[in-house]
């Protein structure tokens, strides 16, 4: 075989037939030999991109080889320019300026989405490696992630991204080949590389929309650090506790003390390099297991806007089918065969609705993994040892709701770690183990998804919260306030009891955002805390915002939908069970407890509704610990309805979360039980929690 110079490779490429398997294999071998020979001196970005391109040649159909060979020719030409000095290496690596003119935008968007998914899995594997550095499968997972991004980026003409991914991949190649150990230095450098690749993807995404394609801030610095690691620079291990990750558990600790400048400098220096003793090289992607390949073949990526459109159309189909089935003209037809067909069509539509809704459901695993990384970084920054335990990350929730709860969970974790968990010395002084525990769980309960964050820290300080609330004029005194009422005060905007607000968080700062975001998706947030033992924050969220199971009720001539998850029972009260309680309004005695009565016709100004509860129905509804009995005229049956917003024209209507088109084409309003209970309190019922009777007959 002739010497594999760039000139020889260019000549081979000009004479190469894409269908010539032997010729293609010879060309690929020549490129690899040339790159390997240059490896001792360090491959240039164009050579890195060239190597990534030819890696794909042997794995794609013959019909696609022509495109790849054209890309290879472009990189050979650029490599020649780099070798002669006519193309600056730095410019070739990062300053692309604009996307290639022949860029396939749809293909590029798919690459960005897939790369982000790949990096999410790689980050989880990197955290796993900190606990088990000998886990070869995790090493291969990260290596394959960086390698795949490198090769595909090269194919798409993203030389800067491909070059950086090559440097990140090379570090994992050294670990995989057992030439350096995977230690805390390597972990920090690899995680920073993952973050930088995400920043590159963001830059490419912005360039699709017309922005200039520029390298992320710090890319050149991090590249230099990766090159120094590959060049064999060795740094001593600083005093740092290795991150420990078990199944769903991560333990992190910071190096030195907060005021130890030498320790901080050592940490910064250590993070900037890795123990390395070999040159940068190309390595083939590890084989994909048969199971993983099979699963990949059974899945397909769909644009989210198309999926949302499908869900909307299925919802319209459900509404149309309900209108047909409920039409009086259809019901009067004495044709049993037609009735069976309509019933069968209804069943198919319901199954289609369930199937389409399941397509929107995604596990919380990705969200939990991001929080794992957040805990790791914050624990190191704060100098705390933290055991982060996650359970139920396979719990599924509507895709749109995953985005809605991401920020609230970040605020909750930051507050718990910064102000909930004590420093080591404080924990030891109180008889606790130095390592704090932060547990994040998710599970289904009563038609809801429950996400629970629990720490074993110092707990909320009732006295400090009350004093701060009084000082800010939120309350006059704590008289009659339960612990739950006091804990709710931390959701006031800007509320904080911290003596010193840190750059991480202040207890309460941002928690108003948490509550507002959760309530916008019809969820609820509760807090339980015990001084010295810890705090538990619980989010209760609907499975989806698109479908509501509800009971259709009539009040006067109006009809409303009450979500079934809030309904406990319905009953017609006896006259002697109705009371008025001083300062608390109308009550009904039920099972030795008094329940406040909320009259919907008074709240919404409905004429012609039943006035006497004993001649109508009371529906007992609850929102957590709070309960009330709403007065309705009649129950019309249980329905599964497609929930829709009221539109910008109406905005937010108190006590109403949305609307649904009913079988006869009319609109039924969906009641927000939590707001109904609150509206009942402001309308005269000062307390809606069950209490011992202090009763007086209304009669």
**Catalytic center residues:** 147, 169, 415
Cβ neighbour number for residue 658 with a 10 Å cutoff: 20
Give how far Cα 404 sits from Cα of 200, 311, 513, Å: 25, 19, 11
The structure tokens 């890696």 sit at 55
Structure tokens at 148: 């795949």
Residue 572 tokens read as 């017609």
d(CA 149, CA 154): 8
Residue entry with tokens 């109180």: 430
Distance, CA of 485 to chain centre: 30
| 380 close to 271: Cβ distance less than 8 angstroms | no
Torsion of CA 52, 53, 55, 57, to 10 degrees: 170
Tokens of 31: 């490129």
Can you say how many angstroms the Cα of residue 609 is from the centroid of all Cα atoms in its chain? 45
Q: Please report, for the chain, how many H helices and E strands are present, in that order.
A: 23, 21
Query: Pairing relation of β-strands 667-671 and 558-563?
Result: parallel
Q: How far is CA 585 from CA 338, 374, 597, 695, in A?
A: 53, 49, 8, 10
- Taking CB atoms within 8 Å and a gap of at least 24, the contacts of 55-64 are 55/151, 55/282, 55/284, 55/285, 56/151, 56/152, 56/155, 57/24, 57/27, 57/28, 58/24, 58/25, 58/28, 62/18, 62/19
DSSP classification of residue 421: S
Contact 26, 64 (CB under 8 A): no
Task: List, in sequence order, every beta strand (DSSP E) within 294-392.
Answer: 361-363, 386-391
Distance CA 195, CA 122 (A): 11
| Residue 249, phi then psi, degrees to nearest 5 | -135, 135
Write the Ramachandran bin of 693: left for phi over 0, alpha for psi from -120 to 50, otherwise beta.
beta
The enclosing H or E element of 696 equals: strand 696-697
Dihedral over alpha carbons 354, 655, 453, 381 (to 10 degrees): 110
Report residue 504: phi and psi, to 5°: -90, -50
438, containing H or E segment: strand 436-445
DSSP 470-523: HHTTS-S--TT--HHHHHGGGGSTT----SS--SS--TTTTHHHHHHHHHHTT-
Side-chain-facing half-sphere of 368: CA atoms under 13 Å:
25
Tokens representing 138? 């995790």
Q: Which residues fall within 8 angstroms of residue 430, CB to CB, at 6 or more apart?
A: 422, 532
User: Shortest CA distance to 193 belongs to which of 158, 176, 218?
Assistant: 218
Sign of the Cα torsion 116, 118, 120, 123 reads negative
Q: How many CB atoms lie within 10 A of CB 32?
A: 18
Q: How far apart are CA 529 and CA 457, in angstroms?
A: 10
| Contact between residue 339 and residue 347 where contact means Cβ atoms under 8 Å apart | no
């Amino acid at each position: 075989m002739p010497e594999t110079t760039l000139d020889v490779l260019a000549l081979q490429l000009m004479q190469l037939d894409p269908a010539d398997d032997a010729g293609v294999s010879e060309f690929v071998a020549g490129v690899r030999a040339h790159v390997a020979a240059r490896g001792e001196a360090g491959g240039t970005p164009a050579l890195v991109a060239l190597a990534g391109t030819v890696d794909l040649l042997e794995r794609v159909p013959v019909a696609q080889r022509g495109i790849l060979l054209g890309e290879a020719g472009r990189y050979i030409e650029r490599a020649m320019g780099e070798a002669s000095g006519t193309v600056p290496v730095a410019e070739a690596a990062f300053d692309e300026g604009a996307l290639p003119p022949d860029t396939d935008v749809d293909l590029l968007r798919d690459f960005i989405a897939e790369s982000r998914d790949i990096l999410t899995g790689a980050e989880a594997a990197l955290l796993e490696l900190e606990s088990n550095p000998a886990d070869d499968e995790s090493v291969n997972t990260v290596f394959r992630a960086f390698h795949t991004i490198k090769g595909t980026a090269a194919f798409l003409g993203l030389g800067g991204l491909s070059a950086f991914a090559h440097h990140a991949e090379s570090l994992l190649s050294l670990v995989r080949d057992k030439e350096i150990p995977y230690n805390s230095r390597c972990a920090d450098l690899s995680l920073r590389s993952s973050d930088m690749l995400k920043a590159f993807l963001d830059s490419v995404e912005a360039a699709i929309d017309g922005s200039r394609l520029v390298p992320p801030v710090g890319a050149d610095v991090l590249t230099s650090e990766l090159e120094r690691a590959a060049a064999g620079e060795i740094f001593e291990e600083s005093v740092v506790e290795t991150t420990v990750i078990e199944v769903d558990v991560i333990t992190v600790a910071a190096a030195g003390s907060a005021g130890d400048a030498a320790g901080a400098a050592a940490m910064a220096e250590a993070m900037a390099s890795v123990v390395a003793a070999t040159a940068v090289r190309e390595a083939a992607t590890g084989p994909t297991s048969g199971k993983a390949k099979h699963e990949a073949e059974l899945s397909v990526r769909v644009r989210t806007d198309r999926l949302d459109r499908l869900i909307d159309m299925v919802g319209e189909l459900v509404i149309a089918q309900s209108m047909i089935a409920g039409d009086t003209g259809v019901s009067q037809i004495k044709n049993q065969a037609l009735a069976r067909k309509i019933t069968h069509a209804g069943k198919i539509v319901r199954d289609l609705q369930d199937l389409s809704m399941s397509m929107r459901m995604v596990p919380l695993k990705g969200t939990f993994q991001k929080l794992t990384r957040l805990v790791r970084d914050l624990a190191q920054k704060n100098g705390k040892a933290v055991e982060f335990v996650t359970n139920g990350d396979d719990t599924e929730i509507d895709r749109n709701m995953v985005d809605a709860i991401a920020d609230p969970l970040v605020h909750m974790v930051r507050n718990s770690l910064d102000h909930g968990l004590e420093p080591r010395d404080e924990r030891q002084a109180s008889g606790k183990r130095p390592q704090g525990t932060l547990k994040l769980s998710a599970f289904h309960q009563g038609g809801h998804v429950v996400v629970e964050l629990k720490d074993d820290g110092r707990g909320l300080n009732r006295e400090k919260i009350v004093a701060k609330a009084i000082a800010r004029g939120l309350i006059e005194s704590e008289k009659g306030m339960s612990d739950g009422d006091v804990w709710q005060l931390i959701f006031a905007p800007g509320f904080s009891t911290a003596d010193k607000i840190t750059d991480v968080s202040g207890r309460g700062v941002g928690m108003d955002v948490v509550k507002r975001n959760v309530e916008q998706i019809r969820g609820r947030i509760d807090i339980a805390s015990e001084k010295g033992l810890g705090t538990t924050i619980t989010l209760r969220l609907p499975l989806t915002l698109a479908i509501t199971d509800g009971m259709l009720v009539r009040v006067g001539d109006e009809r409303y939908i009450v979500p079934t998850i809030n309904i406990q029972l319905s009953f017609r009260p006896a006259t002697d069970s109705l009371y008025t309680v001083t300062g608390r309004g109308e009550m009904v005695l039920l099972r030795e407890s008094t329940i406040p009565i909320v009259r919907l016709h008074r709240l919404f100004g409905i004429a012609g509704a039943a006035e006497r509860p004993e001649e109508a129905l009371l529906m007992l509804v609850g929102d957590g610990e709070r309960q009330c009995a709403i007065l309705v005229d009649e129950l019309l049956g249980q329905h599964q309805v497609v929930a829709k917003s009221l539109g910008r024209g109406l905005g937010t209507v108190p006590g109403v979360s949305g609307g649904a088109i009913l079988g006869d084409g009319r609109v039924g309003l969906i009641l927000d039980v939590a707001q109904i209970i609150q509206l009942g309190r402001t309308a005269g019922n000062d307390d809606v929690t069950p209490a011992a009777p202090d009763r007086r007959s209304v009669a």
